[in-house]
């Protein structure tokens, strides 16, 4: 009796570990669902939108200008940010706000990207913290889930 209970328990633990490993690998290497908060990407992505971020593009260096990405915040590694790629390494980007009379420019260094929110007036982005290392990119947004 005890042996049968032990075998069933160990079998259940084994199956749980297997599914846990599959889930971990799926979310780490293929993609994940992310609930966005904040106004920085409005009107493209609004507060409480659910998006799917795929991770394969990041691994194969397929991030391009215009893509929306999820990245680790350069200020707080526990927080993710959702921004649009404005410049890739070697690109010249404008760092001043649209209302500035004199425009300032910077070249994006090797291994970095320039990220900005679509809502320029209400976004903390590369204009504040500079170029973001490519290694901080977690994934590329490829799907917005419509919840109604």
Q: Is 83 an active-site residue?
A: yes
Interval 26-55: pLDDT, tens: 888 888 899 988 899 999 998 889 999 999
Q: Give the DSSP letter string of 97-116.
A: -TT-SS--EEEPPTTEEEEE
Q: Is the pLDDT of residue 75 over 80?
A: yes
Considering the segment(s) 2-145 as one domain, its CATH architecture is: Ribbon (2.10)
Catalytic residue among 53, 57, 83, 123: 83
pTM over 0.85: no
Q: Is 123 an active-site residue?
A: no
* The two three-digit tokens of residue 79, written as one number: 């927080």
Parse the chain into domains and list their residue ranges.
Answer: 2-145
Segment (H or E) for 59: helix 56-59
Q: Is the pLDDT of residue 148 over 70?
A: no
Catalytic residue among 40, 57, 123, 126: 40
* The two three-digit tokens of residue 58, written as one number: 């990041």
Q: Is the pLDDT of residue 137 over 90?
A: yes
């Amino acid at each position: 009796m005890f042996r049968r209970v032990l075998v069933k328990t160990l079998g259940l633990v084994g199956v749980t570990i297997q599914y846990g490993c599959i889930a971990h690998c799926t979310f780490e290497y293929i993609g994940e669902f992310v609930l966005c908060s904040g106004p920085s990407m409005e009107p493209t992505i609004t507060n409480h939108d659910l998006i799917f971020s795929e991770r394969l593009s990041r691994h194969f260096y397929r991030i391009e200008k215009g893509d929306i990405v999820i990245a680790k915040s350069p200020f707080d590694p526990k927080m993710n940010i959702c921004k649009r790629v404005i410049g890739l390494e070697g690109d010249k980007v404008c760092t001043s706000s649209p209302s500035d009379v004199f425009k300032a420019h910077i070249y994006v260094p090797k291994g970095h990207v320039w990220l900005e929110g679509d809502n320029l007036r209400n976004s903390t982005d590369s204009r504040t913290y500079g170029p973001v290392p490519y290694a901080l990119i977690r994934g590329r947004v490829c799907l917005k889930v419509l919840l109604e």
